[in-house]
Structure 1
C-alpha cells in the first residue's frame, strides 16, 4: 500500500490498533524540528536502526515541504490515531505541524513549496506554489480545521488556533485573487508558481516555464467554487477562469502509446474527431498556445519535438478542466439565486 492510503483510507478501527501506533511512532520520529515533514516517505514500512538514526540526525535539516501532499498527509494521520488512542504526543505533534503551516505562510498569504527554502535565495522552492495543488491542499486542510470538521473534533483545538487557521485561509484566498493572470483587463488562469514578491508567473524546473496553467488552475477554481459566500471578486475570478478554459480546450486529438524502433513505449498525438476534450499543461503567455519543453528549457510547439525522456516522463496534456466546465453551470445558478 501507498503511505497516503494508509494515512487516511484504512478502516476506521485500524487507527486504534497497535499497528497504527507503530506507524505513528515513525511519523513523529520523522517530524522536523520546525514542524513539517519531508515528501515521498513511507512511514508504514518498518525502519531499521540505521534508518532511525539517520532520521534523528536530520531532524534539524531543511526538507519540510507541502509538495506531493507532505506534511498535510502526516497531520491527517495523526488526527486519526489521536481520535482513537488519545495519546497526547500525537496531539502535540499535530499542533506543531499546524504551527508550521502558520509560520511558513508569507505575509502576502502565499505558501512556498519548501520551508525553509531548499537552495538559498533564487531557488524555485521559495515561490508561491500552486504546482501539484500544494497550496490548495494546505488551504483545504485549514478550512476543515476552522469549520469544525468532525475529523478534528477530538483534538479540541483552542480558539486561537482556529482563528489563525481561518485567517491563514482568508489570506490565501486574497493572494489567489492577486496572482490570477489578467489579459486585456480580463482575469484568466494562474501559473503553476508565482514570484513570492512580484507575484508574476515564475519558472520552476528547466522545463516548467512561466505560463498559463491548464492543470494547476483547476484545483484553484474548485477551491474558489467551494466558498459558501463568494465575493464579487471571487465570482469574477471563477467566471474568467471558466471562460479561459472554454476558449483554450483542445479538440480532435488524443494521446496514444506506440512501440518505437527500439522497443520502447512512446507517447504520440493522433487525430480523432471523437476524442475527449484535452488541455495543454502549459500555454505560452504571449501566444496562449500550448507548448512543450525539454530539460534545455527551449519551447516547442508539438510533443513530437521534445526528447524521449520528457515526452514520456511528464504529463503535457490534461483533462481536469472538464470537471470545472461541468460543475460551473450549477455553481453559477446557485450564486445567482443567492
Structure 2
C-alpha cells in the first residue's frame, strides 16, 4: 500500500475510533437528564439519583417516569452533570456529551430570575423551592458553571458561542444579586443568609430547622466566587466586609468532632484550645450562634437541640479557616489591594 494512503487510512481509523469512544458515567448522566435540560437529585419515587446503580429495566422505568418538576440545583444536581459531561467530552470528543451539557446550561439560563437569583428548583415552586437559594452552594454552583462557560475555562471553551454570551450576562446579573443580598447590620455588610424571598430578596426560612439566619459555609462559597471576578469597588468592599465578619465571629477554643457509634453519626462540641470553628448559623441581628429544631423552634444553646437534630446536622465547622489564612491574602496580593 502507498505510504500516504496507509497513513491516511490510519488517521481515518483513529478519527472513527475517537468518535465511538464512550464514557459510562456520561452515558448514564444523559439517560437521567430531564426533558427541560436539568437533572434531579431524586426520582419520581423519591429514591436518590445514584450513578453507581446498574441500569436495569426497573430503574429505567423510574427514570422515564420522573418529570421536570424534579429538576434542581440542590445537592450539586445539574452542575455536577454538566461538569461531568464537559469533562467526558474533553476526553472522548463524543458530540452527544457536549450537546447534553449545553442543554443543561440552557436550563440554568432558563431558571435564573430577572433579579439574578436562582431558585432551588425549577419549574417546581412548592414550599421553599422557589426561594433564591445559596443553601448547599446551589446558586454558586450554577453561577460557576455559567462563569466557566462565559470565560471558556475548565474545558468549557467548546460550548456554543451564543450560550457563552448569554452566560456572561447571567453571571453579571448573578453578581448584582449577590451584592444586593449581602446582609447589612447597622450599615455594615456582614455575610449572606441561606435563602431569600425571590421577590423582595429579603432573608427567608426554609426547612423547620433552617431558620432565617446568616449562613457561614455558603458565605465562604460566595466569597470565593466573588474572588474570581474582576475587582470593582463594590466587590472589594463586599469581600473585605465579609472577611471582617468572619474574623469577629469565630469561636476559639472549641472543636467539633463527628464519629460513628453503632452505625450512627455522633457530633460532639468539645473544648480544644488549639481549634477555631464557626457555627453553621448565626442570628441575623445579634450574630449569636443559633440552632433550629424539627419543631421549628430556635435554640441558642447547642445542648438544648433535640438529639435527632443535634446528631443529624453539621452545626459547626472550620468553614472560613483556609479562606482567611491563605486564599484571602493571596487575592489581596494578586490584585495589589491593601487590607
Shorter-chain TM-score bucket reads: 0.7 to 0.9
1:261-280 deviation digits (Å, cap 9, x = unpaired): x9976433232322x11111
Q: 1:23 deviation in Å?
A: 3.4
Match of 1:57 among 57, 65, 70: 65
Whether the 8 Å contact between 1:254 and 1:270 is mirrored in structure 2 is: yes
What is the rounded CA distance, in whole Å, between the counterparts of 1:166 and 1:259 in structure 2? Answer: 45
- TM-score, reference length from structure 2: 0.85
Give the equivalent residue in structure 2 for 1:321: 320
Q: 1:118 deviation in Å?
A: 4.8
Rg larger for: 2
Give the equivalent residue in structure 2 for 1:71: 78
Whether the 8 Å contact between 2:21 and 2:92 is mirrored in structure 1 is: no
Whether the 8 Å contact between 1:63 and 1:118 is mirrored in structure 2 is: no
What is the rounded CA distance, in whole Å, between the counterparts of 2:280 and 2:124 in structure 1? Answer: 25
Q: 1:303 deviation in Å?
A: 1.6
Give the equivalent residue in structure 2 for 1:130: 134
Count, aligned residues: 314
Q: Decide whether aligned partners of structure 1 residues 205 and 185 sit closer, same or farther in structure 2, where only a CA change above 3 A counts.
A: same
Q: Decide whether aligned partners of structure 1 residues 159 and 211 sit closer, same or farther in structure 2, where only a CA change above 3 A counts.
A: same
Whether the 8 Å contact between 2:146 and 2:167 is mirrored in structure 1 is: yes
Q: 1:193 deviation in Å?
A: 0.9
Q: 1:49 deviation in Å?
A: 0.8
What is the rounded CA distance, in whole Å, between the counterparts of 2:164 and 2:57 in structure 1? Answer: 38
Give the equivalent residue in structure 1 for 2:50: 42
Q: Decide whether aligned partners of structure 1 residues 266 and 56 sit closer, same or farther in structure 2, where only a CA change above 3 A counts.
A: closer
Whether the 8 Å contact between 1:266 and 1:308 is mirrored in structure 2 is: no
Whether the 8 Å contact between 1:131 and 1:216 is mirrored in structure 2 is: yes
Give the equivalent residue in structure 2 for 1:241: 242
Q: Decide whether aligned partners of structure 1 residues 96 and 250 sit closer, same or farther in structure 2, where only a CA change above 3 A counts.
A: same
User: What secondary structure sits across from 2:244 in the alignment?
Assistant: helix
Q: Decide whether aligned partners of structure 1 residues 301 and 56 sit closer, same or farther in structure 2, where only a CA change above 3 A counts.
A: same
What is the rounded CA distance, in whole Å, between the counterparts of 1:22 and 1:265 in structure 2? Answer: 33
What is the rounded CA distance, in whole Å, between the counterparts of 1:92 and 1:268 in structure 2? Answer: 47
Provide structure 1 residue ranges, at least 5 long, that are not aligned to the other structure: 1-15
Q: CA RMSD in A?
A: 2.4
Give the equivalent residue in structure 1 for 2:29: 27
Q: Decide whether aligned partners of structure 1 residues 146 and 263 sit closer, same or farther in structure 2, where only a CA change above 3 A counts.
A: closer
Q: 1:88 deviation in Å?
A: 3.2
Alignment of 1:176-187 (within 5 A): 176-187=178-189
Q: 1:237 deviation in Å?
A: 0.5
Match of 1:103 among 79, 91, 110: 110
Alignment of 1:81-230 (within 5 A): 81-119=88-126, 123-149=127-153, 151-153=155-157, 155=158, 157-227=159-229, 229-230=230-231
Whether the 8 Å contact between 1:145 and 1:165 is mirrored in structure 2 is: yes
Q: 1:44 deviation in Å?
A: 4.1
User: What secondary structure sits across from 1:220 in the alignment?
Assistant: helix
Q: Decide whether aligned partners of structure 1 residues 61 and 328 sit closer, same or farther in structure 2, where only a CA change above 3 A counts.
A: closer
User: What secondary structure sits across from 2:71 in the alignment?
Assistant: coil
User: What secondary structure sits across from 1:255 in the alignment?
Assistant: strand
Whether the 8 Å contact between 2:132 and 2:198 is mirrored in structure 1 is: yes
Q: Decide whether aligned partners of structure 1 residues 304 and 330 sit closer, same or farther in structure 2, where only a CA change above 3 A counts.
A: same
Q: Decide whether aligned partners of structure 1 residues 22 and 270 sit closer, same or farther in structure 2, where only a CA change above 3 A counts.
A: closer
Q: 1:210 deviation in Å?
A: 0.6
1:205-263 deviation digits (Å, cap 9, x = unpaired): 10101111122111001111122x21101111011101110110001222346999x99
Q: 1:93 deviation in Å?
A: 1.5
Q: 1:92 deviation in Å?
A: 2.2
Q: Decide whether aligned partners of structure 1 residues 265 and 324 sit closer, same or farther in structure 2, where only a CA change above 3 A counts.
A: closer
Whether the 8 Å contact between 2:216 and 2:279 is mirrored in structure 1 is: yes
